Amino acid sequence: MPGSHVTEDAPTARDVRVVLPAHLRTLAGVQREVIVTVVGPVTQRRVLDALEACFPTLGGTIRDRATARRRPFLRFFACAEDLSHDPPDTVLPDEVASGKEPFIVLGAISGG
């Protein structure tokens, strides 16, 4: 519209806590928990995108490179809920977005 302009709020950036399983901590050279900055709605996809951007060595280790799906022996937990089967663009609980609770990447236990 001539003469008008639209102002949008800048997307909110949030610091999200992510807990990694032992092997991925070793691979990335980090401690149990890392903090990644997520811009916009805090979803599984955005959290994992931010994680892989911070730690490129984790690319392909949580999500399959070809399908971008969660690897079958991993689970995603937060706020005492199993979120593994939620669509990747589902907004995570407010407690994760606010940093009160971590987003947990968990490896399946193995016997033997």
- Interacting residues toward other proteins by CB under 8 A: 21, 23-24, 26-27, 56-57, 59-62, 64-66, 71, 73-74, 107-108
Q: Kindly write down the DSSP assignment for every residue of 72-90, as one continuous string.
A: TTEEEEETTEE-TTS-TTS
* Closer residue to other proteins, CB minimum distance, 12 or 57: 57
Q: What is the DSSP letter of 69?
A: P
Report in angstroms how near the CB of residue 98 gets to other proteins at its nearest.
29
Q: Which is nearer to other proteins, 53 or 73 (CB)?
A: 73
Least Å distance between CB 57 and other proteins? 4
Q: How far is CA 46 from the centre of its chain?
A: 6
Least Å distance, CB 19 to other proteins, is 15
Question: Cβ-count burial of 3 within 10 angstroms (0-12 exposed, 13-18 middle, 19+ buried)?
Answer: exposed
